[in-house]
């Protein structure tokens, strides 16, 4: 338990709850996000990810519990909180007639940092965006790039990114991930939400998993990788029974049909499993590592594909 | 930068404000251009006499044969205030409610700018816009006065313009406030529009309906135009009442916006 004022705690929530009428959007969430880390905020659509970020920005008021950003209450002191926060909305909207550069100037002036065109130009160049075109003529991906540029203006300590990579092609996605990693490496903090693990697995140090408004898991990415599942398929020369493989710890989705076994096993269970397999005469054996998304869904459920 | 929200709001609205200002000026010039032919048509005053008393009372005029009576009937009686108030309501409803409806409010609210500043500076931008539109009408009236021989007193025309601008400001800031409190663009337009119609009718019908008379000072229309600025110039009380109304409305909008969840 860190104290809320610990210097390396950037975002801190205790019992954070938000209800809209009788709908519970967020229920009793305790969370700590620290300096220098990239935190993936995961869950199916409607799980409460955006609600959390709105509370964090002070756009909405918690029904119960507390949220602190750099030790401050964003509902009471939004201006002070925003000075250190760059925000990327889930559905960025702009003034269509104005150019990207006009947006950058306006945002920089509101931040009282008029020199920021350099930051903007650097980021713009890396992502490949033309700042001099009216925003109304930009594609969805390019609007998203502009939203990234605006979020990075003024060098905020904390980046709050709501589904940031939707609309990016793979190359831009890589560049964006590099930006995120660099931000964290320089002591910054990144909180990014997504409904698919694949979008954050390369960048995140930790993930929090939200389902129906409840925080169901907080996990180090390295731990999750260690738990990565293997798909095992074995064929024998004689019929086998499911009971033959019962009791292997961590074994999932066991399917036995006549003389074949299909199952999913974490790396830690492979040795025990192979021991059981060896009691029979094998005719064929396949073992492939499942991707992280599959592992993630196996442990935390959720709707594959999200949308 | 100080008043950056106001500056940006004015910049973003510039095109719309200029369009309204030019349109209103053109309309006033058109009325002015008709004056030389109207002046020589005594039958028009007969026409006015034949109008229902209610209509004459609403337009606050009895005489189309004098320039003041003509301008009162054609510009200050209905068209001018209607259009300035309409502009202000459209502009006010576009402020917080409009930006929120377009999911653009975050461009302002995610910046290190408190909500109070957003409300106050957006209100300020609406007041400025209303004054600009009214100033354009004033210039057009002065131009007509010279070109078409209306011979209006410059000071009185300026006074009428000031009162029109402040009248618009009252309903414009009300629109900002309703939008700030509810986030609904429909309400931000409907509430001030309905109140403006009621206030206009209250002012216009009070002379005919005895029980309305004591309520008449509640109407911003009466405060702004009831003293016939083209004849009497500036009404200090009218200015004070409207400025105070704007200040109270803006001050009320601040906590109303501060209490609410916004869709930024």
Among partner residues A54, A79, A109, which is closest to B114 by beta-carbon distance? A79
Residue whose C-alpha is closest to residue B123's, from B92, B151, B100: B92
Choose the weakest-confidence range: A174-183, B40-49, B122-131.
Answer: B40-49
The token pair at B184 is: 């609904």
The token pair at B81 is: 């205030």
**Closest-approach residue (CA) in chain B for A61:** B261
Locate the domains of chain B by residue range. Answer: 4-258
Among partner residues A59, A61, A95, which is closest to B109 by beta-carbon distance? A59
pLDDT at A115: 65
pLDDT at A200: 86
Q: DSSP of A189-217, one letter per residue?
A: EEEEEESSGGGTTTT-SEEEEEETTEEEE
Residue whose C-alpha is closest to residue A106's, from A141, A153, A58: A153
Residue whose C-alpha is closest to residue A158's, from A36, A30, A60: A36
CB B73 within 8 A of CB B55: no
User: Cα B259 to chain center, whole Å?
Assistant: 29
Alpha-carbon distance A4 to nearest alpha carbon in chain B (angstroms): 23
Is the pLDDT at B117 greater than 90, yes or no? yes
Q: Are residues A146 and A165 in the same domain?
A: yes
Segments of chain A scoring below 50 in pLDDT: 1-4, 303-307
Mutate to test the interface with A, among B16, B107, B120, B263 (most CBs of A within 10 A): B107
- The beta-carbon contacts of A249-258 under 8 Å, at least 24 apart in sequence, are A252/A298, A253/A298
* pLDDT tens string A78-112: 999 999 999 999 989 999 999 999 999 999 999 98
Q: Are residues A200 and A177 in the same domain?
A: yes
The token pair at A251 is: 């074994």
At CB < 8 Å, which residues of chain B contact A? Answer: 1, 4-5, 8, 12, 102-104, 106-115, 261-264
Q: Containing domain of residue A264, as a range?
A: 229-289
Question: Maximum Cα–Cα distance for chain B, whole Å?
Answer: 64
Residue whose C-alpha is closest to residue B29's, from B130, B112, B147: B147
CA angle A25, A28, A33 (to 5 degrees): 100
Gap between the Cα atoms of A240 and B185, Å rounded: 69
Taken in order A18, A19, A23, A29, the sign of the CA dihedral is: positive
pLDDT at B2: 77
Taken in order B83, B85, B88, B89, the sign of the CA dihedral is: negative
The token pair at B132 is: 């600009």
Contact B8 A95 (CB under 8 A): no
Residue A86 maps to which CATH number? 3.40.50.300
Among partner residues A59, A89, A109, which is closest to B1 by beta-carbon distance? A109
Q: Cβ atoms within 10 A of the Cβ of B64, count? A: 24
Contact A59 B114 (CB under 8 A): no
Q: Show residues of chain A in contact with B258, CB under 8 Å.
A: none
Contact A109 B4 (CB under 8 A): yes
pLDDT at B95: 94
Contact A60 B113 (CB under 8 A): no
Q: In A60-169, where does DSSP find H-type helix?
A: 78-82, 100-110, 117-127, 140-152
CA angle A77, A82, A86 (to 5 degrees): 155
pLDDT at A253: 85
CB A134 within 8 A of CB A97: yes
Give the length of chain B: 264
Contact B113 A107 (CB under 8 A): no
pLDDT at A228: 76
Q: Are residues A79 and A140 in the same domain?
A: yes
pLDDT at A135: 97
* Reported ipTM: 0.89
Q: Helix, strand or coil for residue B68? A: helix
Q: Are residues A31 and A95 in the same domain?
A: yes
Gap between the Cα atoms of A195 and A218, Å rounded: 15
Q: Are residues A129 and A199 in the same domain?
A: yes
Among partner residues A82, A93, A95, which is closest to B110 by beta-carbon distance? A82
Three-state SS sequence of B199-238: HHHHHHHCCCCHHHHHHHHHCHHHHHHCCCHHHHCCCHHH
- Give the H/E segment covering residue A27: strand A23-34
Q: Show residues of chain B in contact with A89, CB under 8 Å.
A: 103, 106, 110, 264
Number of C-alpha atoms within 13 angstroms, CB side, residue A116?
24
pLDDT at A306: 37
Q: Show residues of chain B in contact with A60, CB under 8 Å.
A: 261-262
Classify residue A135 by its DSSP letter: G
The domain boundary, picked from A182, A198, A224, lies at A224
**β-pairing, A64-69 with A38-42?**
unpaired
Gap between the Cα atoms of A215 and A225, Å rounded: 20
The domain boundary, picked from A192, A207, A224, lies at A224
Classify residue A290 by its DSSP letter: P
What is the count of structural domains for chain A? Answer: 2
User: pLDDT class for B57, splitting at 50, 70, 90?
Assistant: confident
CB B183 within 8 A of CB B263: yes
Q: How far is the first Cα of chain A from the last one, in angstroms, to the nearest whole number?
A: 35
Q: DSSP of A42-67, one letter per residue?
A: E--TTSSHHHHHHHHHTSS--SEEEE
Residue whose C-alpha is closest to residue A112's, from B246, B264, B257, B5: B5
pLDDT at A1: 43
Choose the weakest-confidence range: A230-244, A285-299, B27-41, B128-142.
Answer: A285-299
Q: Show residues of chain B in contact with A112, CB under 8 Å.
A: 1, 112
**Closest-approach residue (CA) in chain A for B7:** A106
Q: Does A80 contact chain B (CB < 8 Å)?
A: yes
Is the pLDDT at B172 greater than 60, yes or no? yes
Among partner residues B111, B115, B263, which is closest to A110 by beta-carbon distance? B111
Q: Cβ atoms within 10 A of the Cβ of A272, count? A: 16
pLDDT at A6: 63
Contact B112 A59 (CB under 8 A): no
Q: Say if A171 falls within a structural domain.
A: yes
Is the pLDDT at B43 greater than 50, yes or no? yes
Gap between the Cα atoms of A104 and A100, Å rounded: 6
Q: Are residues A162 and A253 in the same domain?
A: no
pLDDT at A301: 66
Where does residue A125 rank: exposed (0-12), middle (13-18), buried (19+ CB within 10 A)?
exposed
Q: Are residues A249 and A188 in the same domain?
A: no
Q: Are residues A21 and A55 in the same domain?
A: yes
Q: Show residues of chain B in contact with A95, CB under 8 Å.
A: 12, 104, 107
Torsions phi, psi for A123 (to 5 deg): -65, -40
Number of C-alpha atoms within 13 angstroms, CB side, residue A250?
16
Mean pLDDT of B40-69: 80
Q: Say if A1 falls within a structural domain.
A: no
Q: Cβ atoms within 10 A of the Cβ of B62, count? A: 14
Residue A273 maps to which CATH number? 3.30.70
Alpha-carbon distance A29 to nearest alpha carbon in chain B (angstroms): 19
Gap between the Cα atoms of A213 and A218, Å rounded: 14
Choose the weakest-confidence range: A197-201, B5-9, B102-106.
Answer: A197-201
Q: In chain B, where does DSSP find H-type helix?
A: 4-39, 42-50, 53-59, 67-71, 79-93, 99-101, 106-109, 115-147, 154-182, 185-205, 220-225, 229-232, 236-258
* pLDDT tens string B146-170: 999 999 999 999 999 999 999 999 9
């Amino acid at each position: 338990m860190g104290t809320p004022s610990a210097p390396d705690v950037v975002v801190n929530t205790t019992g954070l709850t938000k209800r809209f009428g009788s709908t519970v959007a967020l229920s009793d969430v305790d969370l700590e996000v620290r300096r220098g880390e990239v935190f993936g905020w995961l869950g199916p659509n409607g799980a409460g990810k955006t609600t959390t970020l709105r509370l964090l920005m002070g756009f909405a008021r918690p029904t119960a519990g507390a949220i602190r950003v750099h030790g401050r209450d964003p509902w009471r002191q939004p201006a002070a909180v925003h000075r250190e926060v760059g925000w990327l909305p889930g559905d960025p909207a702009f003034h269509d007639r104005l150019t990207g550069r006009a947006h950058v100037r306006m945002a920089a002036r509101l931040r009282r940092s008029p020199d920021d065109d350099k930051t903007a130009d650097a980021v713009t160049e890396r992502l490949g965006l033309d700042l001099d075109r009216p925003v109304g003529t930009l594609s969805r991906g390019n609007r998203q790039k502009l939203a990234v540029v605006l979020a990075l203006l003024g060098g905020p300590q904390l980046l709050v990114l709501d589904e940031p990579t939707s609309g990016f092609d793979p190359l831009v996605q890589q560049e964006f991930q590099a930006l995120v990693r660099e931000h964290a490496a320089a002591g910054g903090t990144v909180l990014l939400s997504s409904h698919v693990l694949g979008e954050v697995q390369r960048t995140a140090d930790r993930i929090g998993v939200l389902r129906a408004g409840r925080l169901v898991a907080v996990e180090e990415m390295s731990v999750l990788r260690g738990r990565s599942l293997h798909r095992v398929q074995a064929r024998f020369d004689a019929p086998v029974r499911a009971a033959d493989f019962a009791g292997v710890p961590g074994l999932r989705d066991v399917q036995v049909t006549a003389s074949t076994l299909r199952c999913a096993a974490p790396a830690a269970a492979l040795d025990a499993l192979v021991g059981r397999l060896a009691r029979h005469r094998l005719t064929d054996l396949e073992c492939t590592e499942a991707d992280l998304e599959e592992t993630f869904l196996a442990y935390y459920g959720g709707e594959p594909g999200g949308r | 930068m100080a008043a950056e929200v106001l500056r940006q709001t004015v910049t973003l609205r510039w095109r719309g404000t200029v369009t309204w200002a030019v349109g209103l000026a053109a309309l006033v010039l058109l009325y002015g251009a008709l004056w030389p032919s109207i002046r020589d048509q005594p039958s028009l005053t007969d026409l006015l006499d034949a109008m229902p008393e209610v209509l004459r009372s609403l337009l606050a005029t009895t005489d189309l044969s004098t320039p003041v009576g003509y301008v009162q009937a054609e510009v200050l009686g209905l068209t001018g205030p209607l259009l300035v108030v309409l502009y202000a309501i459209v502009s006010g409803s576009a402020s917080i409610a409009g930006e929120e409806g377009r999911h653009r409010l975050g461009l302002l609210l995610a910046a290190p700018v408190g909500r109070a500043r957003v409300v106050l500076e957006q209100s300020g931008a609406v007041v400025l816009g209303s004054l600009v539109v009214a100033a354009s009408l004033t210039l057009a009236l002065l131009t007509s006065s010279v070109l078409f021989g209306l011979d209006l007193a410059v000071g009185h025309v300026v006074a009428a313009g000031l009162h029109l601008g402040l009248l618009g400001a009252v309903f414009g800031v009300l629109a900002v406030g309703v939008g700030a409190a509810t986030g609904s663009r429909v309400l931000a337009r409907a509430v001030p529009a309905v109140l403006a119609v009621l206030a206009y009718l209250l002012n216009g019908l009070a002379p005919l309906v005895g029980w309305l008379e004591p309520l008449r000072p509640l109407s911003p229309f009466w405060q702004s135009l009831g003293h016939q600025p083209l004849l009497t110039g500036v009404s200090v009380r009218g200015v004070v009442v409207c400025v105070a109304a704007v200040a109270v409305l803006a001050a009320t909008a601040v906590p109303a916006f501060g209490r609410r969840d916004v869709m930024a």
